[in-house]
Structure 1
Amino acid sequence: MIHKTRWRLTLLYSSIIALTLLIMAGVFYLSLVQILKRHETTELKELAGQWMSYLSEEGFSESEKKREPFFSKGHEEHGEDNDSDEKRKPNEFLYSDRFFLLFDQQGTLIAHSLTDAKMAEWLQAELARWPDEDLHKVKRLFRQPENEEEQVYALMALPLSGEHLSREHEHEHDHEYVSQFSLQGRLFVGNEVTDYWFFIQRMRNMLLILALGLLFVAAIIGFLFSERAMIPILNAYRKQQSFLADASHELRTPISILQSSVEILDEIKPQIPDFHQRVLDDMADEVARMGRMVQDLLVLARSDAGQLELLKETFDFAETCRSVTERMNNIARKKGVQLTCHTPEQPVWMHGDRERLSQLLYILLDNAIKYTPEGGRVNVTLSHANGGLECVVQDTGIGIPDTDLPHIFERFYRVDKDRSRKLGGTGIGLSIADWIVKAHGGRIKVTSQVGKGTAFHIRLPSNRR
């Protein structure tokens, strides 16, 4: 229980710390991406505004579009002087990573500022598929030239619609662009953002590696926090163990005296009135119940302190099952419950503590008989299973609700407290049964259905020597 509590605290603290650190890293990454996107958008809008102003000043019209194009076609096909071309370009397009492409209404490329013919051809094919709903939006295109690294471009499309081109309002800059020409089509402005893109990719990878490191750090911090949180819990648990051990030892003597006194009075039972006889019987039952409870508490206290050792020997577990069942038969018959035992005819050898395993069967059979109504059945079945032993104690009793099944092996846990108290239950027996099974390296599980009965399945290694 203590180890489970610590691991739960470790998981809780680690999850909180890790979640906090991951949220901080995620916010940082998303903020960085948004800043770069805003920078791209602002830059492209400024470029678009400059080119719109430039085209308006040039007065390029529908009737003039067959004349010499502005840039790259003029560079190579018409042999224009580069110096004269650069004088015609806005200053922003003196940078090689910025460009524009101008299309008419039929999608024909009229002019562009690219000097790379292959890139112009690739962009013309890509931009032909640009949907109308993405106008005024920034999109990224990826290009993989032969024998070169991948290139990334950010582009924005703006419509040219007669007299009115567009109107953009920014917080820092207010631009108003009005066309002085009648050309209709689309203007694409772009910027190479390969460095930005790979910076974001590297930053993402670094944050992923950092996140793994943060998870490891969070696990260590959570473990240390849980260790500190467990200090008062451990102190309280040790005090509880000490109290149980001391109380069990101190109560054994007065209970033994009471039991001896009841036995002495029982010798003169026929000589006392009926009412006194009933009181004496009740007293004997209560003293016996208190004696069992003190003995159970002492077993738990010694097991917690590691002072309870198993006295292992090799014995026939089938014979032990039959012997315990026979002894419990008298109790079952008094209640009107049919108790049966099914074991193999051949000896079933087991290396373990005969007394503790007998106690395990007594606890399970006592519970089964108590909670099985008159006319019900309790059955013990022993068999070989996967190199070990399987013992099943099944009854047709009242059953256990599903919500209570995970807690029935906890100390002092009782499904129906009033019924358990009337039947003499203390809520300790199944805790001892669980300890006995685990001390022998086995497993115990329970299945139950309300109104139909309960079955305890015990798996034990035979460990024959």
Structure 2
Amino acid sequence: MFKKTRTKLIVMYSGLIGLILLIMVILFYFLLSNTISNGEEKQLRLTSEMILKEWNNKMPQTVPSSPAKATYINYVFIPLNQFFVLTSEDGAVLFHSLRDEALLSFLKPALEENLAASQYAQYTTFKFQGDRAFKFCSIENQDRTVLYIGMEVTDNVKLLSNMKWVLGLIAGLLLLVSIGMGYWFSKRAMVPIQRAYARQQDFVSDASHELRTPLSIMQASVEVLEEEQNALPAFHQKVLKDMKEELGRLTRMIEGLLTLARSDSGRLEIARDYFDLGALLQSSSKAFQILGTQRNIQISCSTAHSGGSGFMFYGDEERMKQLLYILLDNAIKYNQPGGEIQVRLWRKDHHAVIQVSDTGIGIPQENVPYIFDRFYRIDKGRSRLRGGVGLGLSIAAWIVEAHQGQIKVTSKLGEGTTVQIMLPSIEK
């Protein structure tokens, strides 16, 4: 009973913890990436400022627009992992500090394609020879030349790439830890609930059991009075009749509570044996024929085999009989004069399908999902007048679940209700 609740708590706890850990991992990676990127850009800005200062102070004011060959210049203040390329206004390379001619050849079209001359243009990262990475930006000089300043960031890119895998692995491990913590938290959270529920079930079971004796005595007393009811005034006879009905209703409620309490606590077991399910349907339907005739309700029963034979089922015959009695009793109670009740049984993929349909008053669609809840009644006044206590369908659902089956209700207000039960492992 608590399995679904505990599963929800595990999902909630582990999901919440996992979400917090995931946010922390993403935030850490973002801060690390942002710190590294800001450091790279800061280094590029400082180097570009020193190069521009050196260029404007010492270089000639007039630079040829299209030199035959770019001139190599090595400034001592440029770190080994940085370089610069100075181009003319039309894009021709004038000066550079690249020691790798292949990189220079690669840079020419890349610079023309990716960067436009503007003051501190957007920083761009590109790959060279597959695994090497470079970041650079462009600056327009006073003499219309364009300075491209760059640095190799291969180590930083590899660091961030490796960090993704490390953080992903850490996130996976932390997720497993969060699931374990969620399981532990849910277990601790369910302990007081389980204890309270166990005490409640013990109380219901004990109270129901203790009430059976005085109810039996009262029932016997009423039966004794009934022997002399002809000598009683009409009013006293009516009181006696009402008392008998209320005692019957109270007895049914106590029996239902006791059954559910024992089933919840695991003290009520299913006595399985082979029996003819078709014959049980026939006999149960016949048992309600008299009551149906009194209320002008026709009851019909049909199975896939003539005579109701051929449906040997492995289960608890008494509980299945109780299930059918509950369904037939409800079908008669909430039917209309001149109505019909159809009881059907057929085989479907090694399953037995039982269907009880009536032409009664029906159930509003918004109430259908709750009809298996204990003490749930759509119209409490109407249910009380018809003798209902709101436990019958709860017991029916328990019997079906105890046989690993499924129960489904479809209904339309004013047209009737159909209860369909699918039971597994039917044998010939």
Aligned with 2:186 (options 226, 232, 251): 226
1:302 is aligned, of 262, 287, 293, to 262
Q: How far apart are 1:151 and its partner, in Å?
A: 1.0
Quote how far apart the aligned CAs of 1:409 are: 2.6
Report which stretch shifted further, 255-264 or 368-377: 368-377
Q: Identity, % of aligned pairs?
A: 39
1:136 corresponds to which residue?
121
Between the two proteins, the alignment pairs up a number of residues equal to 424
Would the aligned equivalents of 2:65 and 2:89 in 1 still touch at CA under 8 Å?
Answer: no
Q: Structure 1, residues 393-440: CA drift from partner, whole Å, max 9, x if none?
A: 223444445554444333333344343333332222222112211222
* CA deviation profile, 1:299-339 (whole Å, cap 9, x unmatched): 12222333323333322211211221222233344444443
Superposed CA deviations along residues 50-71 of structure 1, whole A, max 9, x for unmatched, are 22222322445565334576xx
CA distance in 1 between counterparts of 2:16 and 2:274 reads 51
The SS at the match of 1:314 is strand
Query: How many angstroms apart in 1 are the aligned matches of 2:420 and 2:61?
Result: 91
Tell whether 2:367 aligns with 1:370: no
Give 1:156's aligned residue.
137
How far 1:371 moved relative to its partner?
3.2
- Whether 1:126 and 2:89 are equivalent positions in the alignment is no
- Report 1:6-405 matches (<5 A): 6-59=6-59, 64-67=64-67, 73-75=70-72, 85-86=73-74, 89-92=75-78, 95-130=79-114, 132=116, 136-145=121-130, 150-158=131-139, 160=140, 165=141, 179=142, 182-184=143-145, 186-346=146-306, 347=309, 348-405=311-368
Task: Verify the 8 A CA contact 1:51 1:90 in the aligned structure 2.
Answer: no
Deviations 1:47-100 (A, max 9, x none): 22222222322445565334576xxx335xxxxxxxxx43xx2512xx332112
Q: Letter of the aligned partner of 1:74 in structure 2?
A: T
Q: Distance in 2 between matches of 1:139 and 1:401?
A: 66
Q: Which runs of 5+ in 2 are unaligned?
A: none
Looking at structure 2, the residues matched to 397 and 155 of structure 1 have their Cα atoms a distance apart, in angstroms, of: 82
Q: Is the 8 A contact 1:377 1:396 kept in 2?
A: yes
Question: Structure 1 66/3 Cα, relative in aligned 2: closer, same or farther at 3 Å?
Answer: closer
1:443 to 386, 398, 406: 406
Tell me: CA distance 1:195–1:275, structure 2 relative to 1, closer, same or farther (3 Å). same
Matched letter for residue 42 of structure 2: T
Worse-superposed segment, 323-332 or 383-392 = 323-332
Q: Shift of the alpha carbon at 1:216? A: 0.8
Partner Cα separation in structure 1 for residue 106 and residue 337 of structure 2: 90
Tell me the alpha carbon deviations over residues 101-158 of structure 1, each in whole angstroms, 9 at most, x when there is no partner.
Answer: 233333333332212122112222222222559962112112235xxxx011111123
TM-score when scaled to structure 1? 0.84
- Check conservation: 1:10, 1:219, Cα contact below 8 A: yes
Report which stretch shifted further, 401-410 or 50-59: 401-410
* CA gap 1:221/1:281 in 2 versus in 1, 3 angstroms: same
1:167-188 per-position Cα deviation (integer Å, ceiling 9, x unaligned)? xxxxxxxxxxxx3xx225x322
User: What is the SS of the residue equivalent to 1:128?
Assistant: helix
What SS is found at the alignment partner of 1:187? strand
- 8 Å contact 1:62–1:183 — kept in the other structure? no
Q: 1:455 to 1:153 in 2, by over 3 A?
A: farther
* d(CA) in 1 for partners of 2:364, 2:47: 73
Q: Distance in 1 between matches of 2:172 and 2:123?
A: 33
Answer whether contact 2:67 2:94 (CA < 8 A) is retained.
no
Structure 1: 5+ residue stretches without partners: 76-84, 166-178
